[in-house]
Amino acid sequence: MHSQSGKRYGFSEKHRLKSKKAIDLLFKKGRHRSCEFLRFRYLPQKLGYARVVITISKRVGSAPTRNRLKRLIREALRLSGHLQTRSFDSAVFVTKPLKKAPSLAEVQEIVDNFFTHLPDEST
């Protein structure tokens, strides 16, 4: 069934990192990792699910290009299933222009690679 907002499958509000305090802490104490054109900054937390903020630099391209890239990243994160099973705050960046627009499959592969190499929260 559809939720009240009319979206059937969305990137839920609880998975969006919006608090300035949490974002500042992420940038102050978080670790970082690069996977191809995506950069990740992450910090374990104890909520039981992941929260993400996505940032695309204006250098990447026009507004429609940046918006499409954000949609691809959100969809790859949603489909990965890791948002439900991992407990961390994360920022995803794209800072450099891309030679060609990636497909959803390419973005999914990069996101899965990041989660595969993400350290366990208990360590």
Residue 95: which residues within 8 A CB-CB, separation 6 or more?
A: 39, 57, 59, 60
All structural domains of the chain with their residue ranges: 13-115
In the CATH scheme, what architecture does the domain 13-115 have?
A: 2-Layer Sandwich (3.30)
Q: Is 1 a residue whose pLDDT tops 50?
A: no
For the stretch 33-74, pLDDT in tens is 888 889 999 998 888 888 899 999 999 989 999 999 999 998
Backbone angles phi, psi at 5, to 5 degrees: -75, -10
How big is the chain by its Cα radius of gyration, in Å?
14
The per-residue pLDDT for 10 is 66
Model pTM?
0.82
